[in-house]
């Protein structure tokens, strides 16, 4: 769906369940019109207390020696991955590609903060306070779109980083699990792919991702598997 412009719209019920008192608005609240699912609002002042209150019903908060309070989701399938399961990409002229989550906590975990993989808990979310359409790194090669969640500063990437998702670019907006290259075979594609700040949408309508002030810019950060965002590789 090509959305011509992001503009004020009614909150969908899954977006901020129980969070209508979401701190103090510091500017207009933006949500993509006609874009269902759990999409965060831009330009909102937000604090850890809001995250703890709204995410606690859906997972567990634990103390990390490296990152402080982190959260991991409960009730997800075995092998669940961020920006792979329970959501899809939709395009807007103002923000580029936006991850639209089907999960009631997706407004937070996919638009603020970073994800790290913990051997004890699996995927854990590290809170952050800057909104973005999605905190991911992009790569591209021979018609394949590749992306992975950005990790927090200082994260040590394992040799086999489990976060990369690879799909044929022509099926980028289709259900991801249907078209994703199996993890056992995607590594060779990722290693040959090049990091990109943007690339054409599947209909050639615009950039894959537009760098924005305060948000992720694909070419401005190291990428998982090549040093990682603010991290090191084992």
**Token code pair at residue 218:** 């694909």
Q: What is the CA radius of gyration of the chain?
A: 17
Q: For residue range 22-71, what is the model confidence (pLDDT) as tens digits? A: 322 222 234 444 445 555 555 457 899 999 999 999 999 999 988 999 99
- In this structure, how many other beta carbons lie within 10 angstroms of the beta carbon of residue 215? 19
Cα 14 from Cα 3, distance rounded (Å)? 20
- In this structure, how many other beta carbons lie within 10 angstroms of the beta carbon of residue 10? 8
pLDDT at 95: 84
Specify the residue for token string 């004020």. 8
pLDDT at 21: 25
pLDDT at 233: 38
pLDDT at 229: 34
* Coil vs helix vs strand at 206: coil
pLDDT at 23: 26
The strand pair at 136-141 and 68-73 is best described as: unpaired
Cα 18 from Cα 97, distance rounded (Å)? 26
Q: Any bridge partners for residue 71, and if so which? A: 61, 125
pLDDT at 41: 52
- Contact present, 15 and 22 (Cβ < 8 Å): no
pLDDT at 85: 93
- Contact present, 205 and 130 (Cβ < 8 Å): no
Average pLDDT by stretches of 10, the chain with 234 residues: 29 29 28 48 74 98 93 94 94 86 97 93 95 92 92 81 90 90 89 78 46 35 39 38
Cα 23 from Cα 75, distance rounded (Å)? 28
pLDDT at 207: 44
**Token code pair at residue 223:** 């990428």
Distant-in-sequence, close-in-space partners of 115: CB < 8 Å, separation ≥ 6: 82, 109, 123, 124, 125, 126, 135, 149, 150, 151, 163
Q: pTM for the whole thing?
A: 0.72
pLDDT at 154: 83
pLDDT at 102: 96
């Amino acid at each position: 769906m090509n959305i011509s412009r992001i503009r004020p719209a009614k909150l969908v019920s899954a977006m901020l369940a129980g969070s209508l008192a979401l701190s103090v608005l510091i500017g207009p609240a933006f949500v993509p019109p006609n874009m269902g699912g759990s999409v965060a609002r831009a330009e909102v002042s937000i604090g850890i207390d809001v995250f703890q209150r709204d995410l606690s019903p859906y997972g567990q908060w634990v103390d990390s020696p490296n990152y402080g309070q982190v959260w991991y989701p409960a009730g997800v399938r075995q092998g669940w991955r961020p920006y792979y399961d329970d959501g899809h990409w939709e395009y807007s002229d103002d923000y580029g590609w936006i991850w639209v989550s089907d999960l009631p906590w997706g407004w937070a975990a996919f638009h603020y903060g970073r994800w790290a993989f913990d051997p004890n808990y699996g995927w854990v979310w590290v809170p952050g306070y800057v909104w973005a359409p999605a905190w991911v790194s992009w790569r591209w090669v021979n018609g394949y779109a590749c992306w992975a969640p950005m990790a927090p500063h200082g994260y040590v990437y394992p040799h086999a980083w489990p976060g990369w998702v690879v799909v044929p670019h022509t099926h980028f907006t289709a259900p991801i699990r249907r078209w994703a290259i199996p993890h056992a075979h995607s590594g060779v594609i990722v290693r040959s792919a090049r990091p990109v700040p943007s690339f054409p949408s599947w209909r050639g309508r615009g950039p894959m991702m537009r760098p924005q002030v305060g948000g992720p810019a694909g070419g401005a950060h190291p990428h998982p598997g090549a040093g990682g965002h603010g991290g090191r590789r084992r």
